[in-house]
Amino acid sequence: MIRPATVDDLPVVLELIVELATYEREPDAVVATEEHLRTALFGPDPAVFCLVAAQGSEVVGFALWFRTFSTWLGTHGIHLEDLYVQPAARRAGYGRALLAELAGIAVERGYGRLEWSVLDWNEPAQRFYTSLGADPMQEWTTWRLTGAALPALGRTHSHR
């Protein structure tokens, strides 16, 4: 069963985020807290959304996403920030169901894209996404401004 996350799901969603970070070889990278997730997902102006995959009453996976915009298409899209299904629940269709729900949201709302990033070494995920009809964007590289560089650049521009 795929459904929108609720506030009660936040502890398990955070646990799944930590599991995903561990799988992606960055176990100490997660600094998010339940309060961060509560504010982002359920605060007064949420800009990020979460679906969960439930096996009975147990949450076994999640998809965290936000809306994007394509100037070329002139319409919104969905960026899937994280997709994770616990190893014991894999191959039961939860990952596909989460992606199908996101694709359905995109189609229903008239969005033009559903996109995400995949680590270069994660060949099982790449095979799975290819089986769904997704294609890698070979000519694009993700760039990131973070750490000390972000406030250093931010200080060069006044926000008055």
Q: Which residues are catalytic?
A: 129
Helices (H), ranges, the chain: 10-23, 34-42, 94-109, 123-131, 149-154
Residue 72, C-beta contacts closer than 8 angstroms, at least 6 positions apart: none
The secondary structure of 36-67 as a DSSP string is: HHHHHHHSSS---EEEEEEETTEEEEEEEEEE
CA-to-CA distance for 60 and 16, rounded, in angstroms?
8
